[in-house]
Amino acid sequence: MTTDTPAVELRHVSKAFGDLRVLDDVSLVVPAGRAICILGRSGTGKSVTLKHIVGLLQPDSGEVLVEGEDIAALRGADLARVRKRIGLLFQHAALFDSISVGENVAFPLRRHTKLPDDEIRARAEDLLAQVGLERNYDKMPADLSGGMQKRAGLARALVMKPAILLADEPSAGLDPITAGEIDQLLVALNDTAGTTLIVVTHNIPSARVLGDELVFLHEGRIIAQGDVASLDRSDVPLVQQFMKSDSSG
């Protein structure tokens, strides 16, 4: 146990949309440098959890701390400063459809840095190559496959070298080989750059590779949490079902 400030901390977070209670008193500590996978059935609040961490949603009660700061309380320049520490890959990639793939990746650099044009382009091209999309800089997002859009979204999430990467189903829609390559990219980021990872996934083989810790959400609560070995021994039926869905292992 370290006394360092966690990268992310949820303290008794509850969130409802109308009558629908999505998060119900969720508490979670993500130490800096840790890789966490969030699992759970569809509609259980995984994407909502990520949106709280980046401040796109705010809890009805409880607190979300990013590197010790209550993100819901931040505005303007303070919010921007904390958000720059976070890369977010949306579940549906969320590329801007009117600018090229490369300019999507370059966008955060153009917005937040004063780097010269050629350097911005070079960095965006490098990121595209890392996700296997070299030679796609000038294509439009609509001309990419779903899996390629996802990877372009990941490149954009990484271009500012975030301390914390939130990735919502990074390997969804990818073939197993490409999915494995994306997993390796994320593992390398975690190992070499020390990037904190919070990855939502349905893919148990990915979770086994990526996650120092797996967190199962169900009906708004964390029903199980621990490393792969401990969750393989879990006697919670839903957790057993998930862990056994690993047919490729």
Residues lying near ligand ATP in the complex (CB under 6 A) are found at: 17, 20, 22, 40, 42-48, 91
Largest interatomic CA distance in the chain: 56
Rg of the chain taking only CA atoms, in angstroms: 18
Residue 192: contacted member of Mg ion, ligand ATP, none (CB under 5 to 8 Å, by partner type): none
Nearer to ligand ATP, 21 or 121 (CB): 21
Residues near 39 by Cβ (< 8 Å), separated by ≥ 6? Answer: 46, 200, 201, 202, 204, 207, 214, 215, 216, 217, 242
Nearer to ligand ATP, 137 or 216 (CB): 216
Nearer to ligand ATP, 43 or 194 (CB): 43
Smallest gap, in angstroms, from Cβ of residue 87 to ligand ATP? Answer: 18
Task: Count other C-beta atoms under 10 Å from residue 154's C-beta.
Answer: 25
Q: Please choose, from the candidates 126, 174, 135, 125, the residue with its C-alpha nearest in 3D space to the C-alpha of residue 151.
A: 174
Binding residue (CB under 5 A) for Mg ion from 30, 35, 47, 86? 47
Nearer to ligand ATP, 14 or 91 (CB): 91
| Burial of residue 31, with CB atoms counted within 10 A of its CB: 0-12 exposed, 13-18 middle, 19 or more buried | middle
* Rounded Cα gap, residues 52 and 43, in angstroms: 15
Q: Are strands 35-39 and 196-200 parallel, antiparallel or unpaired?
A: parallel
DSSP notation for 137-161: TTS-GGGS-HHHHHHHHHHHHHTT-
Smallest gap, in angstroms, from Cβ of residue 42 to ligand ATP? Answer: 3
Smallest gap, in angstroms, from Cβ of residue 13 to Mg ion? Answer: 17
Nearer to Mg ion, 44 or 104 (CB): 44
Nearer to Mg ion, 46 or 208 (CB): 46
Smallest gap, in angstroms, from Cβ of residue 203 to Mg ion? Answer: 13
Residue 48: contacted member of ligand ATP, Mg ion, none (CB under 5 to 8 Å, by partner type): ligand ATP
Nearer to Mg ion, 136 or 201 (CB): 201
| Amino acid type, 101 | V
Smallest gap, in angstroms, from Cβ of residue 149 to ligand ATP? Answer: 16
Smallest gap, in angstroms, from Cβ of residue 218 to ligand ATP? Answer: 10
Smallest gap, in angstroms, from Cβ of residue 191 to ligand ATP? Answer: 27
Residue 43: contacted member of ligand ATP, Mg ion, none (CB under 5 to 8 Å, by partner type): ligand ATP
DSSP notation for 60-128: SEEEEEETTEEGGG--HHHHHHHHTTEEEE-TT----TTS-HHHHHHHHHHHH----HHHHHHHHHHHH
Residue 208: contacted member of ligand ATP, Mg ion, none (CB under 5 to 8 Å, by partner type): none
DSSP 222: E
Residues of this chain, 64-123, that bind Mg ion according to CB under 5 A = 91
For residues 31 and 210, the answer to whether their CB atoms sit within 8 Å is no
Residues at the interface with Mg ion (CB under 5 A): 46-47, 91
